[in-house]
Amino acid sequence: MAGLRVLQSAPPLALCPNAHVPNDCEQCRVRSLSICGALDNDELAALDRMARPLTFHARDTLFEQDEPADSVFNITSGSARLYKLLPDGRRQIVGFALPGDFLGLAMEERNSFSADALTPLSACQFSRQAFSEFLDSTPHLLRRLHNMASHELSLAQDQMVILGRRTAEEKVAAFLIGLRKRWGRLSTSSVTIPLPMTRQDIGDFLGLTVETVSRMLTRLAREKVILIVPDGVRLLDIARIEALAES
């Protein structure tokens, strides 16, 4: 994988034999958002021993479509673009991964999409086989996975509605509100929405041209609904954009 680096652990400190040694999973800031939140400390320690911490530069590839799906990934920081290449060479973005998201839940034999880092990104990589065996021994984790898969299905259904009969302005508004909710889970500002993806990325996700996306954002800014800021937008009229998103 281009640009991939394995994080090196610092030398262990001398501790009392009876002291509890926190593992990386316990200290992970997105633990409560991810599937790992279902595990107790002993189970986290077992998961931590399976994990391979990785970092990626922006635009690095995590994995590619149609490659053997040998690994699953837990995003701990940064964001990624998930996309499929169509037979005619066009690209369809199917989603954006944020901290706490787990990639590879479908457990298919081959990757059904590709994933690229939009920003510097950190992730825990797990062998698919080892992770599957771990699931067999922790049924409550399987239930958590089921809940996350149900959430992903709900997001996919929402995306179908967005791509359906909505106008371009409504699509952009729904996209921004959806991101606001997702970033809100990370305790970031509910008024400023980070946009690590490009206008082209947003267009490929919403089924719009990059010119249309730019025009809709400019219109919303002109109408004082949003303020375009570096690396994102700030919501000025939340009621108005929520009404557009729910149209």
Among residues 144, 132, 137, the alpha carbon closest in space to that of 70 is found at 132
Q: Which amino acid is at 97?
A: A
Quote the pLDDT of residue 159. Answer: 63
Quote the pLDDT of residue 23. Answer: 46
pTM score, two decimals?
A: 0.79
> CA of 244: how far to CAs of 161, 179, 182, 232, in Å?
14, 15, 18, 19
DSSP, collapsed to helix, strand or coil, labels residue 104 as coil
pLDDT in tens, 164-185: 678 999 999 999 998 998 888 8
pLDDT (mean) for 155-163: 64
d(CA 202, CA 204): 5
CB atoms < 10 A from the CB of 233, how many?
A: 23
Quote the pLDDT of residue 12. Answer: 32
Quote the pLDDT of residue 145. Answer: 72
d(CA 129, CA 1): 20
d(CA 93, CA 217): 19
d(CA 141, CA 130): 14
pLDDT higher than threshold 50 for residue 90? yes
d(CA 104, CA 30): 18
pLDDT in tens, 106-144: 767 899 999 999 999 999 999 998 888 888 888 777 777
Name the CA radius of gyration of the chain, rounded.
20
Under DSSP, the state recorded for 31 is G
Q: Which amino acid is at 243?
A: A
Identify the H or E element spanning 97.
strand 91-97
Reported confidence tier of residue 8, pLDDT bands at 50, 70, 90: very low
Q: What is the pLDDT of the chain when averaged over all its residues?
A: 82
Q: Which of 62-71, 189-198, 223-232, 235-244 has the lowest mean pLDDT?
A: 189-198
pLDDT (mean) for 31-54: 79
Domains and CATH numbers, the chain: 18-157 (2.60.120.10), 163-245 (1.10.10.10)
d(CA 102, CA 80): 11
d(CA 247, CA 244): 5
Per-residue b/e over 10-35, b at no fewer than 16 CB within 10 Å?
A: eeeeeeeeeeeeebbbeebebbebbb
Structure tokens at 230: 């570096």
Reported confidence tier of residue 86, pLDDT bands at 50, 70, 90: confident
